[in-house]
Chain A
Amino acid sequence: MDFTAVIAQLPRLVAGAQTTVWLSVAALACGAVLGLVMCAARLSGNIALRAVAAGFVSVFRGLPLLVVLLILFYVPPNFGIETTPITAALLGLTLNTAGYQTEIYRAGFLTLPPGHAEAARMLGFSRLQIARHIFLPQIFRVTIPALTNEAVDVVKSSGLLSVIAVTELLRVSQQIVSSTYRPLETYLVCAVFYFVLSSTVSWTGRALERRMSLKPA
């Protein structure tokens, strides 16, 4: 094994890793907003809203991200809608994680005792105020472990964006392979990058969990 050719390309890998990070962060953030909206819809009293949210979850948790990306990238041009790799990537990654985050938030919500909302209602809180001041802060606290796993999954899944030519970490590695003819070394170095990224996410999640855990007397 000879890593010199790959080491020379480290700056490109770092740039690729940066793309991986910002795409993951953006998808996770957009997915959080969409996931919370879908979660609210799933828990609402309105049957139509509930059905829409259930369908959304079923579809995006039931389809491979790769398939979602292929569809988002190749199908819209058929109907006269131009797509770029980045928009398809961001949209696909967001929809995928939103499907999972919806269920994470719902599970988190179901752990909260109903009395929390009753107490707030008795003090005059509106539904929106209850959601904002009572549910949201607690849901984030109880779902940190699940959200950490989801963030790791998103970072890993973002490797699929290489298939639609987004120059993230894995795509950059493929490009390096095609010029250096060193697949084993290049992909091993790429694996180190991913491992560092996902370990950082896990470690941060655990630290956050410890900090926000409720310590009894």
Chain B
Amino acid sequence: MIDLTALAEFAPAIWRGLLVTVEICAVSLMLGLVLGLVVALLGRLPFRPLHWLIRGYVEIWRGTPLLLQLFILYYGGPSLGFTPSAYLAGVLGMSLYTGAYLSEIFRGGFDAVPPGQIEAARMLGFTRLKTVRHIEVPQMLKLVVPPTTNQMISIIKESAVLSVITVPELTLTTTRIVSETFNVVEPYLLLGLAYWSITSLVAFASRRVERRLVQA
């Protein structure tokens, strides 16, 4: 039922597609991390309109499908004189999307450190910077790492929709093979296996990291 030679034939192309997926996800995650952290920090400034702006960003980007956001960037952008490549629209869309989720995670992390601990550190002569470095960040990390790794897995899976705006990543590579060779079973089997392996791998790695952080 499953043709092994077909499997071998398609594997290299699908592997290249996987690398594109990994690359886009890594870049988007990095940008999303920076964006999320910046937004979370800005949210701590005592400036009301900024809070509303951040709320709006977070709620809208988390309340609409990523695919739609990509459509707006890729197909709607040109109406505003912005004509991104599929790849750029993809990275931009995924970064903004991830940033919205991560900013909420970081906000939660900052809020979770009790003010009493910070006061205690200050009373012992810790400077503001040393308090952040030695008291706040280590605790925040412990809280923030599990949801962030979940977000990583989410991103990898969500990135499949990039195929719809013609980014040549894993899913698009596979659907192209399907339409060119009329082989359905083998390419999709490889596709499923590729996603499942990479998400499982990230899940496994993050559990190890989390365990080490908990012990630390």
Enumerate chain A interface residues (CB-CB to B < 8 A).
1, 58-59, 61-67, 70-71, 74-75, 77-78, 152, 156-157, 159-160, 162-163, 170, 173-174, 177, 182-185, 187-188, 190-191, 194-195, 198-199, 202
Mark the stretch among B5-13, B62-70, B128-136, B137-145 that contacts chain A: B62-70
Contact check, A191 vs B60: say whether CB atoms are below 8 A apart: yes
Q: A66 and B68 in contact (CB under 8 A), knowing A75-B185, A195-B60? A: no
Which residue on chain B has the smallest CB distance to residue A191? Answer: B64
Q: A191 and B72 in contact (CB under 8 A), knowing A63-B196, A64-B171, A70-B188? A: yes
| Contact-residue bracket for chain B | 35 or more
Q: What mask results when residues 98 to 141 of chain B are scored 1 for a CB within 8 Å of chain A, else 0?
A: 00000000000000000000000000000000000000000000
Bound state CA distance, A66 and B170, in angstroms? Answer: 12
Contact check, A70 vs B67: say whether CB atoms are below 8 A apart: no
The 4 closest A-B pairs by CB, nearest first: A184-B76, A159-B65, A64-B160, A183-B75
Which residue on chain B has the smallest CB distance to residue A197? Answer: B63
Which residue on chain A has the smallest CB distance to residue B66? Answer: A156
Q: What mask results when residues 132 to 172 of chain B are scored 1 for a CB within 8 Å of chain A, else 0?
A: 00000000000000000000000011111101100000010
Bound state CA distance, A160 and B157, in angstroms? Answer: 12
Contact check, A66 vs B171: say whether CB atoms are below 8 A apart: yes
Contact check, B76 vs A74: say whether CB atoms are below 8 A apart: no
Contact check, B195 vs A67: say whether CB atoms are below 8 A apart: yes
Q: Which of B186-216 contact A (CB under 8 A)?
A: 188, 191-192, 195-196, 199-200, 203
Question: Could you jot down 17 A-B contacts, CB within 8 Å?
Answer: A1-B79, A58-B196, A62-B195, A62-B203, A63-B157, A66-B160, A70-B171, A75-B185, A160-B67, A183-B78, A184-B79, A187-B76, A191-B69, A194-B65, A195-B59, A198-B63, A202-B63
Q: How far is the CB of A217 from chain B (nearest CB, A)?
A: 26
Bound state CA distance, A27 and B199, in angstroms? Answer: 23
Contact check, B72 vs A66: say whether CB atoms are below 8 A apart: no
Name the contact of A64 in the complex, choosing from B68, B71, B158 (C-beta under 8 A): B158
Bound state CA distance, A183 and B78, in angstroms? Answer: 9
Q: Which residues of A contact B157 (CB under 8 A)?
A: 62-65
Contact check, A199 vs B59: say whether CB atoms are below 8 A apart: yes
Q: How far is the CB of B181 from chain A (nearest CB, A)?
A: 13
Q: Which residues of B contact A190 (CB under 8 A)?
A: 68
Q: Which residues of B contact A64 (CB under 8 A)?
A: 156-161, 171, 195
Bound state CA distance, A62 and B175, in angstroms? Answer: 19
Contact check, A63 vs B72: say whether CB atoms are below 8 A apart: no
Q: How far is the CB of B154 from chain A (nearest CB, A)?
A: 9
Contact check, A160 vs B76: say whether CB atoms are below 8 A apart: no
